[in-house]
């Protein structure tokens, strides 16, 4: 419904722009054929251009990680909103009622004309079918039929036929079909009914122009017009001979030579195109995560940026797949491909690259812009001064020295030194055993799954090691929880917060019982950006769970996450907060 309302608004603005230019600059010009093309172009533009919009990119810095607890999006809704009548439904019913009313009117008039055709004698001529009927007092054409009243003379009939034949040959009925479609779609728009009059009026100017060239006596033609001054109402899909019979119509029959340069006025519609397209242009927000503690954030986005290419390899020349290359002080980076190659854009001139790979020493390098970089990595050995630290592999205390562990089997590594080891775990795992420090190693075979919550303090650490993790039960396939480029809601987290707040409907019973809380909702953003497998991970109340699932399930498509440059499925958790005000 919202999408159609947006389309309708754009369509109204397009037709209004065309009408404004025509009223101000073109309605008194005698370039009738050019005006016809202009007016029909306005209708077609109002039909099709709202379906398209131009896009522009806005790059914004974002502090912190998207999935960190501080970046959580919450929806706040005032109590009692659910009992307010659905205004959208009321407007939809009114709009559809108006469309049906206009359609019924058109069908009713068309049936009246067809009945007249059926009961009247048809005189077939070369290109038209003449029908003489007393049902209508004025003459008009309906597709290839021309209707005249039997009371008019043969001379008048001849002049009318010359006029109506122009309508038929130039297929003005095609314009009228578009006109009726426009009237049905925008029946509420007064500008449309003015626009329809412009088209019908221009049809008569076109027919008069040709008829005056073909009639034997222009004075007789004008006299016939005056005799038709009192006629029946305008019928849909017909061109009435006496339509818009006024002083202006007779003035338009005068032969006045106009400069061909006046046709250039039609180009005044171009600024309208520019204004409307710009007004409805959609920003595509590109968020770049920046480390809050970094002192060069402003410098990052203000300095000139370039592209860096290169290869990351072992000292023996073996390429390293999956090495992380980031801009120092940020989480903007990339991962090397199967050949160990990488490409990193938007690197500041004064920036530095941090290259890391599990089991190897990290390197900090100045970027090289004019040639491909070759970055050699060396094996990393963790050493301590004094007694060896306690080594814990997958939660089990071992006697294995850390430098004896195959780096290829390591998923993540956490190092605790000095008092942080004993104080943190004095009452649980390690106690005095960790007084010399603790090295906690998680192997790939024991990598955490979604039902094992990743601590918030480790979220940033996890971004340096990208591994595939099984998705929630029932998804049917594996999904990632941390990838090189995380999924992004259209417009970023601020836009997501606003979207949830705008679409959240506080359950009436929950509001009545003053139930509040935060519902943690887990879902998967597919490789195409679709939101699926929405489940409640942590419940606040059964009355709130269903609404939280509904609002998350109805989200628009996200920008999918990517790993090594390929879109992948990523599991996300978002808390939806219900508050009463």
Q: Are 517 and 542 in contact (CB under 8 A)?
A: no
Q: Which of 511 and 310 is assigned the larger pLDDT?
A: 310
Residue 216 predicted with pLDDT over 90 = no
Q: What does the alpha-carbon distance between residue 199 and residue 206 come to, in Å, rounded to a whole number? A: 11
Please give the structure tokens belonging to residue 409. 């089997």
User: Tens of pLDDT along 158-178?
Assistant: 998 999 999 999 999 999 999
Do 304 and 265 belong together in one domain?
no
- 136 and 267 together in one domain: yes
Same domain as 108, residue 220: yes
pLDDT score of 248 more than 70:
yes
Per-residue confidence (pLDDT) for residue 86, from 0 to 100: 74
64 pLDDT band, cuts 50/70/90, is very low
What is the model's pLDDT at position 380?
66
Indicate if 96 and 76 belong to the same structural domain: no
pLDDT category at 463 given cuts 50, 70, 90 is very low
Most confident listed range (263-267, 491-495, 569-573): 263-267
Between 281 and 190, where is the model more confident?
A: 190
> Which range, of 48-57, 112-121, 382-391, 544-553, averages the lowest pLDDT?
382-391
Residue 331 clears pLDDT 60, i.e. is over it: no
- Domain for residue 67, yes or no? no
- For residues 508 and 82, is the Cβ–Cβ distance under 8 A? yes
pLDDT bin (cut points 50, 70, 90) of residue 85 is: low
Are 441 and 309 contained in the same domain? no
154-169 vs 190-214: helix axis angle to the nearest 10?
120
Any domain includes 160: yes
> Measured between alpha carbons, how far is 200 from 222 in angstroms, rounded to an integer?
19
37-51, 95-109, 187-201, 475-489: segment of lowest average pLDDT: 475-489
Q: Are 433 and 397 in contact (CB under 8 A)?
A: yes
Mean pLDDT of 350-374: 85
pLDDT at 276: 92
> Domain end: 326, 342, 372, which one?
372
Residues 414 and 530 in one domain: no
Radius of gyration for the alpha carbons in the chain, expressed in angstroms and rounded: 37
Task: Please indicate, yes or no, if residue 384 is contained in any of the structural domains.
Answer: no
Q: Same domain, yes or no, for 160 and 248?
A: yes
Domain that holds residue 323: 291-372
Residues 394 and 519 in one domain: no
Mean pLDDT of the chain: 78
Instruction: List the CATH number of the domain containing 310.
Output: 2.60.40.1120
420 and 271 share a domain?
Answer: no
Residue with tokens 């578009």: 178
Contact predicate 222/242, CB 8 Å: no
Reduce the DSSP state of residue 385 to 3 states and report it.
Answer: coil
Please state which of the ranges 97-106, 251-260, 406-415 shows the lowest mean pLDDT.
Answer: 406-415
What are the distances in angstroms from CA 37 to CA 32, 41, 168, 429, 536?
9, 6, 17, 83, 57
How many structural domains comprise the chain?
A: 4
Residue 105 has pLDDT above 90, yes or no: yes
In this structure, the answer to whether residues 262 and 340 fall within a common structural domain is no
Q: What is the CATH number of the domain that holds 474?
A: 3.30.2420.10
Check residue 468 and give its pLDDT: 30
Percent over 90 (pLDDT), the chain: 28
Confidence of residue 564 (pLDDT cuts 50, 70, 90): confident
Q: In terms of pLDDT, which residue wins out, 404 or 470?
A: 404
Same domain for 143 and 35:
yes
Predicted local confidence at residue 36, as pLDDT: 96
pLDDT the model gives residue 467: 29
Residues 437 and 493 in one domain: no
In the predicted model, is pLDDT for residue 389 greater than 70?
A: yes
Tell me how far the alpha carbon of residue 384 is from its chain's centroid.
55
Instruction: Give the pLDDT confidence score for residue 453 in this predicted structure.
Output: 36
pTM beyond 0.85: the answer is no
CB 324 within 8 A of CB 333: yes
């Amino acid at each position: 419904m919202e999408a159609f309302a947006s389309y309708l608004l754009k369509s109204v603005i397009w037709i209004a722009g065309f009408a404004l230019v025509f009223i101000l600059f073109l309605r008194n010009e005698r370039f009738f054929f050019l005006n016809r093309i202009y007016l029909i172009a306005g209708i077609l533009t109002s039909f099709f251009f709202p379906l398209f919009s131009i896009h522009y990119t806005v790059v914004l810095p974002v502090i912190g990680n998207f999935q960190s607890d501080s970046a959580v999006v919450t929806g706040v809704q005032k109590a009692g909103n659910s009992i307010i009548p659905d205004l959208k439904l009321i407007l939809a019913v009114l709009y559809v009622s108006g469309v049906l009313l206009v359609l019924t009117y058109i069908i009713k008039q068309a049936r009246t004309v067809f009945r007249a055709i059926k009961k009247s004698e048809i005189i077939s001529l070369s290109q038209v079918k003449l029908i003489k009927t007393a049902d209508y007092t004025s003459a008009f054409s309906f597709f290839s039929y021309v209707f005249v009243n039997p009371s008019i003379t043969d001379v008048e009939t001849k002049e009318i036929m010359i006029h109506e034949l122009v309508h038929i040959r130039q297929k003005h009925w095609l314009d009228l079909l578009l006109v009726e479609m426009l009237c049905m779609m925008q029946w509420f728009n007064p500008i449309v009914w003015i626009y329809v009059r412009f088209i019908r009026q221009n049809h008569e100017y076109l027919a008069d122009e040709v008829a005056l060239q073909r009639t034997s006596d222009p004075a007789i033609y004008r006299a016939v017009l005056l005799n038709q001054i009192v006629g029946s109402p305008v019928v849909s899909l017909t061109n009435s001979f006496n339509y818009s019979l006024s002083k202006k119509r007779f003035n338009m029959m005068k032969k006045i030579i106009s400069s061909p340069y006046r046709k250039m006025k039609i180009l005044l519609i171009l600024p309208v195109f520019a204004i409307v397209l710009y007004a409805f242009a959609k920003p595509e927000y590109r968020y770049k995560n920046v480390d809050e503690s970094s002192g060069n954030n402003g410098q990052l986005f203000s300095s000139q940026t370039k592209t860096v290419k290169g290869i990351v390899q072992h000292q023996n020349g073996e390429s390293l797949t999956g090495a992380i290359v980031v801009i120092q002080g940020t989480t903007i980076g990339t991962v090397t491909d199967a050949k160990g190659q990488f490409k990193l854009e938007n690197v500041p001139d004064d920036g530095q690259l941090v290259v890391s790979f599990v089991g190897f020493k990290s390197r900090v390098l100045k970027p090289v812009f004019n040639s491909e970089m070759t970055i050699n990595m060396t094996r990393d050995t963790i050493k301590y001064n004094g007694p060896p630290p306690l080594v814990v592999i997958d939660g089990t205390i071992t006697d294995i020295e850390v430098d004896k562990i195959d780096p290829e089997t390591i998923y993540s590594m956490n190092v605790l030194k000095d008092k942080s080891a004993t104080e943190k775990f004095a009452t649980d795992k390690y106690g005095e055993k960790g007084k010399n420090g603790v090295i906690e190693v998680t192997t790939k075979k024991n990598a955490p799954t979604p039902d094992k919550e990743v601590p918030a303090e480790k979220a940033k650490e996890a971004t340096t090691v990208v591994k595939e993790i099984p998705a929630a039960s029932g998804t049917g396939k594996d999904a990632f929880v941390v990838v090189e480029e995380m999924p992004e809601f259209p417009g970023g987290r601020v836009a997501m917060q606003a979207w949830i707040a705008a679409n959240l409907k506080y359950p009436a019973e929950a509001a009545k019982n003053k139930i509040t809380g935060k519902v943690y909702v887990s879902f998967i953003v597919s490789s195409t950006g679709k939101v699926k497998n929405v489940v409640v991970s942590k419940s606040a109340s059964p009355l709130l769970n269903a609404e939280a699932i509904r609002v998350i399930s109805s989200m628009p498509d996200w920008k999918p996450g990517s790993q090594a440059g390929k879109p992948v499925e990523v599991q996300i958790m978002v808390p939806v907060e219900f508050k009463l005000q």
